[in-house]
Structure 1
């Protein structure tokens, strides 16, 4: 491995949401933050060098969707995911959640239904509700330690929906949907004329032997009735640079999105985000391969540690993402008690499971994209707190 992911970098006092908002988020500053989905690793050196070159230019005016910008996305999708996309299908967005907000406004009317699959990324529900649309839930089902789609329920719920938010890979449960699963989703949505909005922001963070399959790549009919939301932000730790984009192969869908995006003043590009993305997609692949190897090692370490020291906590090993879904229900705590236990006794700042829907009650989401020393510290704190509880 040519990159040093073991290096611990001090992020305090850098206005990092993950570290510098602990008092407001958790009520104290002495918790180890393992919550919001950004990494405690520096971005690839190619990204840093590209940003420094742009800084040295000295003029930071408005920027455009350049040919280099488009080419980097087209090339990345082809190399990494075997997906051939037309350059004109790409439309910039300041972030995936802002893009979802634009999509809800563009393709639904107040009161109409948007389908989600809880426990799922909590801004989905917030975005739908904030525009007075109806949240329709198709809860995932856990079978033998793995979450699956309830297709019979999906068929029924799709009758009530205009849009489906498909989280692929799924956050927080870590599923990487198979081709068969994605095809079944697509066929159901086509039957009921439901627009599939695929949030594929974690697409690059998938562990072998699993493979991410872009939903729109499976069939021209799926591509014609879907919008894909993507970004290099999770992959290369660029979340603060507003580097997202949507891919809409159907011209009518794309134009409708662009009109709504312009109306919402969400069509501008970030001059540094553009440079960072181009560098990441063109020169960051080796770094990403090493990152995935390191994250897999973190997962191995965590799985072994929990089995040996904290058998009460059940870990759902993710097939994709660097987020681990943890089942604490064996502790017998209410959701509020579990939140307090982790903050006050384990001194850990995780994402509360109930944020992801009632199906997440008794669970927590842990971000393991950090140096192993920090992961070990967090796990030791958890083990110590549970051990003390056992004695008490």
Structure 2
């Protein structure tokens, strides 16, 4: 999102989350102050990627009220909204009230739910036809207006016939999350991780490894042999974090965590070099 906004000449203002014992919260004081500075849109990630929070109706309503008071249109990214874990419930931003609906553009897709990202299919729901027409005009200019035939068929089949698969996949994701969190807590205590409310992503707090920026990425790639997502990609406050996708066969997850454990155990983080003989 950040790269695209800046490429179109826009300015990005970040409302950084507050972390408390691995749990993340919205900084409403910071949001109120920044909303007064002339922003036109606010992108709300609901559920949140990468920290996995499912925002409550009260939190979403507070965000929306601040946006409405300052004439800010809400773009609600709800692409992970189907993947609710542990009985959590998703509240669509536009469902809270008619007034909020009038100020909300909702973005969603089957791509995360059914692993169809390669087919590039998504749905954008607008509060009025004028706004949709403006959006369609941009898509035509950059020649991305049409879906391909495969994506239309796959999207239809996924939502009409994919329930059983999806429920099984969600259970598998929950089991993988439990396994990964237990493994890290027991065997790699230098890394902190919390159980998310949603998504199939874990947000790894690697700050105790004392590696910053490119050094942390180098450690994961060249020592642990793992290509995870650098936390810096997700904005301010992401340095020292890595994001891991656990939506994979258990054997792959086991191998990845074993490699990470061995890399951490055999590494001298104070001297930033491998310990001889390990």
Per the normalisation by structure 2, the TM-score is 0.93
Correspondence for 2:30 among 121, 133, 153: 153
Alignment partners' CA distance in 2, 1:129 and 1:346: 33
Alignment partners' CA distance in 1, 2:127 and 2:8: 26
Range that drifts further, 208-217 or 275-284 = 208-217
Alignment partners' CA distance in 2, 1:298 and 1:217: 32
Alignment partners' CA distance in 2, 1:361 and 1:316: 17
Cα deviation for residue 169 of structure 1 reads 1.1
Q: Show CA shifts across 1:90-119 (max 9, x none).
A: xxxxxxxxxxxxxxxxxxxxxxxxxxxxxx
Correspondence for 1:209 among 62, 65, 87: 87
Cα deviation for residue 229 of structure 1 reads 0.9
Is 1:286 equivalent to 2:159 in the alignment?
no
Matches within 5 A, 1:1-392: 124-160=1-37, 161-389=39-267, 392=275
In structure 1, the partner of 2:271 is none
Give the total of aligned pairs. 269
Cα deviation for residue 260 of structure 1 reads 2.6
Cα deviation for residue 157 of structure 1 reads 0.9
SS at match of 1:233: coil
Q: Show CA shifts across 1:318-358 (max 9, x none).
A: 21111110001111112221111111111111011112123
Alignment partners' CA distance in 2, 1:239 and 1:355: 19
Contact residue 181 and residue 194 of structure 2 kept, 8 A: no
Cα deviation for residue 210 of structure 1 reads 1.5
- In structure 2, runs of 5+ residues without a counterpart are 269-273
Alignment partners' CA distance in 1, 2:167 and 2:135: 34
Cα deviation for residue 386 of structure 1 reads 0.8
Q: Show CA shifts across 1:20-70 (max 9, x none).
A: xxxxxxxxxxxxxxxxxxxxxxxxxxxxxxxxxxxxxxxxxxxxxxxxxxx
Contact residue 18 and residue 25 of structure 2 kept, 8 A: yes
Structure showing greater relative contact order (alpha-carbon pairs closer than 8 Å, 6 or more residues apart)? 1
Per the normalisation by structure 1, the TM-score is 0.67
Range that drifts further, 135-144 or 242-251 = 242-251
Indicate the RMSD between aligned Cα atoms, in angstroms.
1.3
Contact residue 175 and residue 319 of structure 1 kept, 8 A: yes
Alignment partners' CA distance in 2, 1:251 and 1:226: 13
Alignment partners' CA distance in 1, 2:177 and 2:147: 35
SS at match of 1:359: coil
SS at match of 2:74: strand
- In structure 1, runs of 5+ residues without a counterpart are 1-123
SS at match of 2:158: helix
